[in-house]
Structure 1
Amino acid sequence: MLIRLDERQIRAAGIDTVKVEPEAGTTEVVLPGTVQVPPYQLRVVAAPAAGLIEALLVNPDESVQAGQPLARLRSTELVEQQRLFLEAVSQQTLARERLRRDETLFRERIIAERRLLTTRADAAFAEARLAEREQMLSLFGMAEADIAALRRTRRISPSLTVTAPAEGVVLQRQASAGERVAQSAPLFTVAQMQPLWVQIQVPLAQASAVEAAAQVSIPNHGASGVVLRVGRSVDAATQSTSATAEISQGAETLRPGEAVQVALQLPQNGTPQWRVPAGAVVRHRGRSWVFVRVPEGFAARPVTVVTETGQTTSMRAPLRATDEVAARGILTLLAELSEMDGA
């Protein structure tokens, strides 16, 4: 966009210009980040039934295997569900016997078909009720082998063992031995630790230079990975966005919640890189701009910010080594640009 100003207007606005300085293309920026576990690798182990925690068998930061016992729980609800299951087993057995008897009587023409149909419906209902009670015991944390043993021995147990749903590390223990808990109350948080994510804090001015699939590394840990995505939302307090990187190499050296410095590789796009005073770059409509001196006044050019310090900004833009950009009096030019844009 061209902002038309003559020499008198430029002097009156106090606009000063500086020549852009060419830079060797920067291929890496260092940004702060925080390690976290991907949400799909977190498992919250909850109490399958209300009851009393008899014992906790693992500690925080302990590695566990799938199916490993984590806690023992004593529950009157579990006792009641086992009783209902055994009652359903008896009803199913009785319904099967009635069906077998009525099928024999029907073949001998002793009973009407209507009675046989009623008996078959009763048997089907008993089968469905038993399946329902078996599913309830599964939801209450009983393994298939334990349910089979209950059916065989008819011996009700007041306790159950809570097991790990997958291999991982216990990040949190949210209950204590001797505590009474409600059904679905969280007991443990178990996380798979490979791979991990790093949430990288990217200043808004640099966000356009970061692309998905860019390589990242954490030099202090010897870890590396790639950028999965760059966020679209902006933190109002820091005016930064978040880039999510997946760390697949060396993730075992990282800990969730740890603050790290991330070296992020920028893609080589062939655009020349320049250094200008920090005040020469402004933000407008979600993009970074510089004002290049031209005979008619100034031309507003969008740029891609690579790095920033308190004094200088490195940027990528299709400029020439002879170009000069406005370094002072920027607010006047920004106001003109906003007016032209209708902002």
Structure 2
Amino acid sequence: MVIQRFLITLILVLTVASGFFSTPLKAEEAKAKDVAEEGPDKKEREVRKIRKVPHTHDEQGGHEEQHEGIVRISKESYDLLGIETVKVTPSSPKEYIRTTAEIQFNANRVFHIGPRVPGRVVDIFADLGDEVKKGQKLAMLDSVELGNAVSEYLISKTNLSVQKAHFEREEMLWKKKVSSEREMLDAKSAYLRAKAEFEAAENKLHLFGLNEDDINTLRSETHSITAFPLLSPFSGTVVQKHLALGEMEEPSAQLFTVADLGVLWIILDIYEKDLTKINIGQEVKVSVSAYPDIYFPGKISYISDIMDERTRTVKVRVELDNNKRKLKPGMFATAEIATGGALPGHKELIIPCSAIQNYEGGKVVFVAIGDYSYKMKEVRAGNESNEHVEILEGLTEGDEIVTKGAFYLKSELQKEMLGHDHAH
């Protein structure tokens, strides 16, 4: 009996002691956890906390909302992200002139390069697609005619030196009354004739494409006096090349085409009834099938003064900025010119481009449905400008759509659905 009481007392003591030691231990663990949460990753955890979509219903209901494309966020998330919305209202669409045409080279910035005299190709320095600078050598040709021209130049240069010395001598003698005036004038005439022949021979070499440095080195033993270069007239891109080593080329041949692709042209046919709606400098939107979601800006730079009597249209030139090299000469394009007027009796839904998000091959927007909840809706877009886009299907008047923060909502929806798929 005594032993039994002793055992009971011992058990009670151990139980109390266990509670005494475990309580401080748990307190220390909790404190350590709090300290850790105050560390450098606290901000990241706050972001995760904000991203988490709270649910006020059971888990199954949340999964159904994910499939319906509904995203819920907290008020804290709403304030931190600065989500902005606007109501969809119908407006009168602008009137557009739409036409198709072919993209062309800028005719003022394209040059066909060929030899001025017959010659055989002995070296090629440029290839298709190369970016070349003004004055850069594209190829070298060897020409018998150039050899003859160089010989004429060297002979005329020597003759000029001789005739100049003779004239200076006769002029000195005439001033000293040693020789007659007639002898001095004859020497002067011969000198002027030699000078004219030399200048003509030098100009002929320039026509072959030789510059001053080339001409000054004609007497060099290592310099070929029968070869001449083909030079690029300006900086641009080699877009055509029609020559090979050893080929004999004539002056009519177009061996290279160099073009400035930074600015291209598109020539539009505008009907007579629309002429009062266009002006020089007016903006034009151009699209091509290769990039259906991109509009390329252009401006009207020329309106023809002549009307085609057969089609009753006028040629209008539009200059297109092509610094990114997406547009290619020869592409068919569609051009739209906003005339500034509104189509009477027409209404359409226009929303900011910032509301549109690309999602699984389509376009979507997020519509506010209350309580910091947003439903994703697929839409079909129509005409688009730099800031606004026409909505053909998917929205109705009065819908409140997200214009700032839509990308975040899309990301959260994708994460929620991904997590749901992994859970299953």
With structure 2 as the length reference, what TM-score do the two structures score? 0.53
One-letter identity of the residue aligned with 1:252:
R
Give the equivalent residue in structure 2 for 1:60.
Answer: 128
Alpha-carbon separation, structure 2, partners of 1:31 and 1:173: 33
Q: C-alpha offsets along residues 138-165 of structure 1, whole Å, 9 cap, x if unaligned?
A: 0011111010111576965221221211
Give the equivalent residue in structure 2 for 1:214.
Answer: 282
* Kept after mapping to 1: 8 A contact 2:262/2:323: no
Give the equivalent residue in structure 1 for 2:203.
Answer: 135
* Kept after mapping to 1: 8 A contact 2:308/2:314: yes
- Per the TM alignment, residue 208 of structure 1 is displaced from its structure 2 partner at its CA by 4.4
Matched ranges for 1:299-310 at <5 A: none
Pick one of 140, 143, 150 that aligns with 1:75.
143
* Kept after mapping to 2: 8 A contact 1:24/1:273: yes
- Per the TM alignment, residue 72 of structure 1 is displaced from its structure 2 partner at its CA by 1.3
Pick one of 91, 96, 121 that aligns with 1:28.
96
* SS of residue matched to 2:172: helix
Alpha-carbon separation, structure 1, partners of 2:223 and 2:128: 34
Pick one of 321, 324, 327 that aligns with 1:248.
321
More strand by share: 1
Structure 1 residues 115 and 275: alpha-carbon distance in aligned structure 2, compared to 1, 3 A threshold: farther
Give the equivalent residue in structure 2 for 1:260.
Answer: 333
- Per the TM alignment, residue 205 of structure 1 is displaced from its structure 2 partner at its CA by 4.8
Matched ranges for 1:104-143 at <5 A: 104-143=172-211
Give the equivalent residue in structure 1 for 2:159.
Answer: 91
Alpha-carbon separation, structure 2, partners of 1:51 and 1:73: 5
Pick one of 296, 299, 311 that aligns with 1:223.
296
- Per the TM alignment, residue 235 of structure 1 is displaced from its structure 2 partner at its CA by 7.8
Alpha-carbon separation, structure 2, partners of 1:168 and 1:132: 32
Alpha-carbon separation, structure 1, partners of 2:169 and 2:220: 24
Give the equivalent residue in structure 1 for 2:16.
Answer: none
The structure whose RCO (Cα within 8 Å, separation 6+) is larger is: 1
Q: Does 1:233 align with 2:307?
A: yes
**Alignment size in residue pairs:** 250
* Kept after mapping to 2: 8 A contact 1:34/1:258: yes
Pick one of 254, 259, 262 that aligns with 1:191.
259
- Per the TM alignment, residue 110 of structure 1 is displaced from its structure 2 partner at its CA by 1.5
One-letter identity of the residue aligned with 2:112:
V
Alpha-carbon separation, structure 2, partners of 1:250 and 1:154: 43
* SS of residue matched to 2:240: strand
More helix by share: 2
Alpha-carbon separation, structure 1, partners of 2:264 and 2:94: 27
Alpha-carbon separation, structure 2, partners of 1:49 and 1:156: 17
Structure 1 residues 94 and 156: alpha-carbon distance in aligned structure 2, compared to 1, 3 A threshold: farther
RMSD: 2.7
- Point out where structure 1 has 5 or more consecutive residues left out of the alignment: 1-22, 277-343
Give the equivalent residue in structure 1 for 2:171.
Answer: 103
* SS of residue matched to 1:81: helix
Q: C-alpha offsets along residues 275-320 of structure 1, whole Å, 9 cap, x if unaligned?
A: 79xxxxxxxxxxxxxxxxxxxxxxxxxxxxxxxxxxxxxxxxxxxx
- Per the TM alignment, residue 26 of structure 1 is displaced from its structure 2 partner at its CA by 2.2
* SS of residue matched to 1:59: coil
One-letter identity of the residue aligned with 1:230:
I
Q: C-alpha offsets along residues 96-153 of structure 1, whole Å, 9 cap, x if unaligned?
A: 1211221232233211111111111111111111111000000011111010111576
- Per the TM alignment, residue 36 of structure 1 is displaced from its structure 2 partner at its CA by 1.2
Alpha-carbon separation, structure 2, partners of 1:200 and 1:111: 77
Matched ranges for 1:261-300 at <5 A: 261-268=334-341, 273-274=343-344
Q: C-alpha offsets along residues 170-197 of structure 1, whole Å, 9 cap, x if unaligned?
A: 1222333322122353211111123221
Alpha-carbon separation, structure 2, partners of 1:108 and 1:173: 65
One-letter identity of the residue aligned with 1:106:
W
Identity %: 21
- Point out where structure 2 has 5 or more consecutive residues left out of the alignment: 1-90, 347-424
One-letter identity of the residue aligned with 2:248:
R
Structure 1 residues 71 and 39: alpha-carbon distance in aligned structure 2, compared to 1, 3 A threshold: same
- Per the TM alignment, residue 217 of structure 1 is displaced from its structure 2 partner at its CA by 1.9
* Kept after mapping to 2: 8 A contact 1:89/1:151: no
* SS of residue matched to 1:93: helix
Pick one of 192, 213, 233 that aligns with 1:165.
233
Alpha-carbon separation, structure 1, partners of 2:157 and 2:182: 26
With structure 1 as the length reference, what TM-score do the two structures score? 0.65
Structure 1 residues 209 and 104: alpha-carbon distance in aligned structure 2, compared to 1, 3 A threshold: closer
Structure 1 residues 154 and 52: alpha-carbon distance in aligned structure 2, compared to 1, 3 A threshold: closer
